[in-house]
Homo-oligomer: A and B are copies of this chain.
């Protein structure tokens, strides 16, 4: 991956200035709440180079406000600690040197308590700054910082899940936290109702952000493009369907796979989605509630792009392009099974009409490589590194997941990961061409 990001520049207007203070407080509080109840030990571990320790996330999001707001706009601001500039710089070359990413897990200090003091220091300085009144540029940066912190809230959870999954004790995140538990699906083996194909006409359409709300710079500029008629499945692919793929030898049939995908699957001995384990006759999966039976009717998750692509080929379908996805999703409700639901996992579709589960549940891999929109220009300065420099070798995902903070994602939102990534809550929705009868 290449994330700890949001997106460089708020091209749309930021939220109203008078709301920034309360929103800042609420967002910052949520981050801290996600770590509440965790042992200090849980917050140190880095289980792979792509993941980061919880306390690193908590510190880095504070660093973001410190570096890009307070140091830029608050004369006389004194950083909390001289070394933090380097320790918690994720990837901003323009800011200066950075602690190597794969070595974040070697840092026992600053300890969690010190990180929380760092957060409090930054929070206090930010509120003081806001009281004196932030100008337009500062407000835009604060908005960016909020969105950025939301992205890291999701990463806190996905990275913890990955770390816990390495532990033979299979710890449960939930038990350790104050988060309420959601009702769980009752039976693991109940299949979902079949997905329906929903058709969309072709022609010239426009995608990309428009209007007054916030958007990352990679959602801009809004632009027109030409699509052909297509159909989308009414809901994401389910665990039950994925199990059929496994049973049909899907992980052993090279003709279903991209070459790089096949090589990856061989090298890493993939036999099922990440976190799935076979016990006797049933599939179980590691979740934030520990090891749980796989729920057939729920969307399949923790799939790489390669698996998503292979599954689609197996079904005689394909993945949608991001343009198709966005055009189809336009106007759909922005609410869904996101972080606030407390489920912390994808849930079965309700089965009503139309496209379901567009927002929340699982990020949906699209067939679109992550590339700049026509006319794209990154912001100037260090925050210009937010999105643009990652526009190579990654694939776009759409829609948000059960771990995405409420209200964070939108239909124009472009998430992106390397095609081999599996530790995010990633699934797929099928698409197909409309062919004349």
Contacts and interface: CB of A to CB of B under 8 A. Distances in A.
Interface stretch (A87-95, A186-194, A351-359): A87-95
B254 A93 contact: yes
A42 interface: yes
25 contacts: A39-B113, A40-B41, A41-B44, A41-B109, A41-B112, A44-B44, A44-B45, A45-B105, A45-B107, A94-B255, A99-B168, A103-B166, A108-B164, A108-B171, A223-B228, A226-B226, A255-B384, A258-B389, A259-B389, A260-B392, A262-B389, A306-B392, A309-B392, A369-B369, A374-B433
A348 interface: no
B257 A41 contact: no
A45 B108 contact: yes
Given A45-B44, A108-B163, A168 B389 contact: no
Contact of A392 (B83, B261, B384, B392): B261
Given A367-B371, A392-B419, A393-B393, A109 B226 contact: no
Interface string A253-297: 011011111100000000000000000000000000000000000
A109 B39 contact: yes
Interface string A298-317: 00000001100100000000
Interface string A369-383: 101101100000000
Given A93-B254, A393-B260, A167 B41 contact: no
A167 B259 contact: no
Interface in A141-196: 163-164, 166-169, 171
Given A42-B109, A260-B392, A374-B433, 6 more contacts: A39-B113, A41-B55, A204-B204, A224-B226, A306-B392, A368-B371
A131 interface: no
A225 B225 contact: yes
A226 B204 contact: yes
A93 B389 contact: no
B260 A86 contact: no
Interface residues of A, number: 67
A42 B108 contact: yes
A391 interface: yes
| Count of identical protomers in the assembly | 4
A41 B108 contact: yes
A68 interface: no
B109 A171 contact: yes
A20 B2 CA distance: 50
A106 interface: yes
Contacts of A384: 255
A356 to B, nearest CB: 26
B262 A110 contact: no
A392 B226 contact: no
A62 interface: no
Given A106-B167, A108-B42, A108-B163, A225 B228 contact: no
Nearest to A391: B258
Given A83-B169, A374-B228, A106 B45 contact: yes
Interface in A24-72: 39-45, 47, 55
Contacts of A389: 257-259, 262
A111 interface: yes
Contacts of A228: 223, 374-375
A73 interface: no
A120 to B, nearest CB: 18
Given A226-B226, A374-B228, A393-B393, A43 B41 contact: yes
A390 interface: yes
A158 B174 CA distance: 36
Contacts of A99: 168
A258 B387 CA distance: 10
A388 to B, nearest CB: 8
